[in-house]
Structure 1
């Protein structure tokens, strides 16, 4: 695509979006405006980091070609409205660093023989070893830019003999991994076990792992799970649904359910986000709808749900990952409980 065509398309989109965003309610129905903007935001949200930077530049250039005034000021907010100015990679790395530190401090001085009820058969030693191993594995893949499958079991983990030394080992593993991630271009191609073969897959994956496994550790120690950032929880659900099709021990049981047309609806009571998962064709498709503010998601789908699970977005994350049962008082469940039980069994990690 030529630079001239890029500029023309960016200018047309910026002006259209700004017209919609500043239109009087009497001229354009606000719900329709939000639906249009959310649909556009969803598409732009799937751009690579490099393309997001390019589009941000083109939007700004469009605005700055205008005379100073309210119209130019409105155009200058286009990138921010679509989240194009956010450095997602850096923010995810910072969140991984914070959660990794919190996990290590949570298990430090704990009895590593403590069972982890949310991971049947595991102790705190097993859980800590798993979290550190995932960091070692991710750091190796990113550092080497591997273009083929990498098994954690094939890597030198340098695991201490004494589980009491696991927190320090985990901290060192996390530091090495984060150095590799921060030194990498998120758009660099490499192997991943999911649907996004780029560096950017790995901080997102680590973040999803840490959010859930920190809750596992806290619950194992008899504490309430710490509050989970709603944005991290929502992205964790997205990550799970996006990559489930690439995990054979999830994709294959789902394909055998024989529930074509069944719809699972997840409703976040605190943020207004809605996920609709529709089974069929040997797998499933999903959509995420309105977040309550900003742009970024598809219009809410309309299929009648087979079962609905409603709760705060953090609770939905823990439900999707099998940490909460359908009977958990933090969740409101309606519809076919048998279907929910089948889904939970098929998607158990």
Structure 2
């Protein structure tokens, strides 16, 4: 793409965004405006960090070509409005650090033998060892920019002799993985177990390992997990994007699901929604395909029509549902339609 075309497209997009954002309610329905802007944000959020920074610079250049005044001022806000100047890789690393710190604080003074109901057969010590192992494994993979799978069992772990020392061991392991991630270019190609074969995969994936395992520890200790809505929504999409790559997860889904049965996850607190179409209809053998029900796959409009089954709840609880930490029958959810389709998919995609 030529520089002139880049500039023209950025200028057109920035102008359209400002026009939609500042349009009077009697000219453009506010709900429609929000839907358009959220759709654009969804697409731009999927850009690589380097492309996001480039687009932010193009937006600023387009604004500065305008004479001083309200229009120029509004154009200058477009990049910030979409968070284009933010380093997403670093934001994920910061979030991992915060969640691991909370995990360590949660388990440090707890009995290591406490059972973890959401991980049957595990204690808090087991959960902490697993969490730390994932960090050691990630550090090894990223540091060596591996081109093929390396199993966690083949990575030096330096496990502590005493279970009571596991929280501090985890903290040190997280420091190691974050050091490796922060010193790496997120755009560097490398092997990963998921869809994205770049360093950046690991920061995003490791965050949701931390989010879910913190919830495991909190539930084990009788506490209610509190997950930020934006983090939970990203976690649901990260799960849906990558779960098909962890084997062939939906091969055991009941036969009716293979005929295109669908389920919808609807977040009652934010309005976000995702539609999952089950069975082999995806054509790639992965057992299901999905789209953001508000914007469709890749930001396009989603198809109309009722899902076979719909589950409604707060977005944080929906994240715990897809990860198997909550069940459809829990009081946090309202389920309508064919519950067995939802239960079959959850069983087939269990980690």
Q: TM-score, normalised by structure 1?
A: 0.92
SS in 2 for 1:248: coil
Find the counterpart in structure 1 of residue 40 from structure 2. 40
CA distance in 2, matches of 1:103, 1:298: 38
Find the counterpart in structure 2 of residue 116 from structure 1. 116
Equivalent of 1:341, from 340, 343, 350?
Answer: 343
Residue deviations 1:58-82 (CA, integer Å, cap 9, x gap): 0000001100111111111221232
Equivalent of 1:284, from 281, 288, 291?
Answer: 288
Whether the 8 Å contact between 1:253 and 1:347 is mirrored in structure 2 is no
Residue deviations 1:291-325 (CA, integer Å, cap 9, x gap): 9xxxx965454231111111111111111111111
Matched, 1:311 2:310: no
CA distance in 2, matches of 1:257, 1:140: 43
Q: Point out 4+ residue stretches in structure 1 off by more than 6 angstroms.
A: none
Find the counterpart in structure 2 of residue 135 from structure 1. 135
Bigger shift: 124-133 or 2-11?
A: 2-11
SS in 1 for 2:259: coil
> How far did residue 256 of structure 1 move?
6.9
SS in 2 for 1:15: helix
CA distance in 1, matches of 2:9, 2:254: 41
Alignment CA distance shift 1:256-1:96 (3 Å): farther
Whether the 8 Å contact between 1:257 and 1:342 is mirrored in structure 2 is no
CA distance in 2, matches of 1:21, 1:88: 24
Whether the 8 Å contact between 2:324 and 2:346 is mirrored in structure 1 is yes
Bigger shift: 309-318 or 32-41?
A: 32-41
Whether the 8 Å contact between 1:266 and 1:275 is mirrored in structure 2 is yes
Whether the 8 Å contact between 1:113 and 1:123 is mirrored in structure 2 is yes
1:75-154 equivalences under 5 Å are 75-154=75-154
Whether the 8 Å contact between 1:142 and 1:181 is mirrored in structure 2 is yes
> How far did residue 26 of structure 1 move?
3.6
CA distance in 1, matches of 2:278, 2:102: 37
Whether the 8 Å contact between 2:257 and 2:341 is mirrored in structure 1 is no
Bigger shift: 252-261 or 123-132?
A: 252-261
Bigger shift: 317-326 or 59-68?
A: 317-326
Q: What root-mean-square deviation, in Å, do the aligned CA atoms of Structure 1 and Structure 2 show?
A: 2.0
Alignment CA distance shift 1:87-1:120 (3 Å): same
Matched, 1:15 2:19: no
Residue deviations 1:216-240 (CA, integer Å, cap 9, x gap): 112222x223311111111111111
Bigger shift: 237-246 or 113-122?
A: 113-122
Aligned pairs, number = 344
CA distance in 1, matches of 2:16, 2:110: 57
Whether the 8 Å contact between 1:92 and 1:207 is mirrored in structure 2 is yes
Which gives a bigger RCO, structure 1 or 2 (Cα 8 Å, sep 6+)?
1
CA distance in 2, matches of 1:107, 1:211: 14
Q: TM-score, normalised by structure 2?
A: 0.92
1:167-186 equivalences under 5 Å are 167-186=167-186
Unaligned runs of 5+ in 1: none
Alignment CA distance shift 1:159-1:256 (3 Å): farther
SS in 1 for 2:249: helix
CA distance in 2, matches of 1:255, 1:138: 35
Matched, 1:243 2:252: no
SS in 2 for 1:16: helix
1:151-300 equivalences under 5 Å are 151-221=151-221, 223-248=222-247, 250-254=249-253, 258-280=257-279, 281=281, 282=285, 283-290=287-294, 299=301
Whether the 8 Å contact between 1:287 and 1:301 is mirrored in structure 2 is no
CA distance in 1, matches of 2:269, 2:130: 31
> How far did residue 171 of structure 1 move?
0.8
Find the counterpart in structure 1 of residue 329 from structure 2. 327
